[in-house]
Amino acid sequence: MSKDQWVNHPVIHQLTAQSGQQSEELLALIRRHRHCAKFADPVFELHNGRVAYSDRVIFSGVNWRIDNGVHWQVKGPNGCGKSTLLGLIFGDHPQCYSNDIDIFGKKRGSGESIWEIKQHIGMVSSALHMQYRVNCSTIDVIVSGFYDSIGLYQKPTQQQVAIATEWLAMLHMGHLAKTAFKQLEYGQQRLLLIARAIVKQPTLLILDEPYQGLDYLGRRLIKNSLELIAKEQLTQLLYVSHYQQDSLDSIEHFIEFVADDSHQGYRAEVSGPTLK
Ligand SMILES: Nc1ncnc2c1ncn2[C@@H]1O[C@H](COP(=O)(O)OP(=O)(O)OP(=O)(O)O)[C@@H](O)[C@H]1O
């Protein structure tokens, strides 16, 4: 089938319309429960960032600042340090304390707890997907987003359960609420992890290759939804994707890792309309 035949195929039209409608439902759900902490600029700043292992430097000389309301895409070849950079923000990379970082108005390492920071960040990545191997029901996976935990270890409030139930219904997975997460298909699991990241309406939503494992409809749903979330400023996106076709129209700011012989490891180039 040619690309044109594929794009114009009636089934694809139907799926596209379906994902468009579902994206609107997702947006309505976020608006209904909207609450999002706002911080003074910068939301995040890295000064002269450097990450190195004993055998080599991954990147160095990285200066980057995320201001309120600005969405960013991180680009660069395999192994350049994209996920590493996200780890510095999220706080789960061992070298996040040896770097000079400001996050949510605090200097990293100034006594803030990792949980204080995490409560303002939603994260989806393949690493998280791999870690999420606990015995947990489908609905509990979404609820665990309120606690930033892998699995659920606290009694949730009725409101949290009600919101998670709305998310399941919107994803057409309401009948799977009690099903074990592990029994679901990989794509269904990925959709749930995306819902888990968004459910608490974080200030910063970090998406590291979010479409991995999703089928056509799932990709459309998530891509459309992210586009709408970004446009409406419902949360701020930090988005990593290799593929040009996955770029979001609403993201105009890029940090791209490029190899540079005169530097150690990769260096970063930032671009975007407000940076001129
Ligand atoms: N503990 C470690 N020890 C040594 N090297 C490491 C360690 N952890 C990661 N690396 C290396 O750091 C580099 C950056 O990894 P990272 O996952 O951030 O890259 P990436 O740009 O996200 O790559 P990809 O696009 O393939 O996901 C890689 O070359 C990786 O092999």
- Full domain range(s) for residue 73: 3-120+202-275
Q: What is the count of structural domains for the chain?
A: 1
Does residue 112 lie in a domain region? yes
Instruction: Dump pLDDT digits (tens) for 76-119.
Output: 988 899 999 999 998 888 998 899 999 988 888 877 778 888 88
Pocket test for ligand 1, best of 84, 89, 264 (most atoms within 8 A of CB): 84
Handedness of CA 136, 139, 145, 146 (dihedral sign): negative
137 domain residue, yes or no: no
Minimal-distance CA residue to ligand 1 atom 16 = 81
Q: What atom of ligand 1 comes closest to residue 53's alpha carbon? A: 4
Say what the pLDDT of residue 165 is. 94
pLDDT value at residue 276: 55
User: Quick check: is 163 in a domain?
Assistant: no
pLDDT at 46: 96
Nearest protein CA to atom 23 of ligand 1, as residue: 79
Q: Which residue, by CA, sits nearest to atom 5 of ligand 1?
A: 53
237: domain CATH number is 3.40.50.300
Which single residue is written with the structure tokens 């950079």?
85
Could you give the dihedral angle defined by the CA atoms of residues 153, 146, 237 and 101, in that order, rounded to the nearest 10 degrees?
-70
Select from 118, 65, 73 the least CA-distant residue to 226.
73
Angle 186-198/216-231 helices, nearest 10 degrees? 10
Site to probe by mutation for ligand 1, drawn from 57, 75, 82, 207 as the one with most ligand atoms within 8 Å of Cβ, is 82
Amino acid at 184: L
pLDDT tens for each residue of the chain, 276 residues long: 666 766 666 666 666 666 677 778 777 877 777 766 677 788 999 999 999 988 789 999 999 999 988 999 999 988 899 999 999 998 888 998 899 999 988 888 877 778 888 889 999 998 899 999 888 999 999 999 999 999 999 999 999 999 999 989 888 889 999 999 999 988 889 889 999 999 988 999 999 988 888 888 888 888 888 888 888 787 899 999 877 778 889 899 999 999 877 667 899 999 888 765
Q: Is residue 253 part of a domain?
A: yes
In this predicted structure, what is the pLDDT of residue 40? Answer: 76
**Atom 7 of ligand 1: nearest residue by CA position:** 53
Query: With pLDDT > 70 as the criterion, what percentage of the chain qualifies?
Result: 91
Residue 134 lies in a domain: no
What is the number of other CB atoms lying within 10 angstroms of the CB of residue 104?
Answer: 19
Task: Quote the ligand 1 centre to 114 CA distance (angstroms).
Answer: 22
On whether residue 150 sits in a domain, the answer given is: no
pLDDT digits (tens, 9 = 90+) for 69-78: 899 999 998 8
pLDDT of residue 187: 86
CA distance 220 to 18: 9
Q: What angle do CA 233, 226, 85 make, to 5 degrees?
A: 85
Mutation choice for ligand 1 from 54, 74, 75, 80, CB with most ligand atoms inside 8 A: 80
Give a yes or no: residue 219 inside a domain.
yes
Q: Is residue 138 part of a domain?
A: no
Q: Which atom of ligand 1 is nearest to the CA of 257?
A: 21
Contacts of 135 (CB under 8 A, 6+ apart): 151, 180, 182
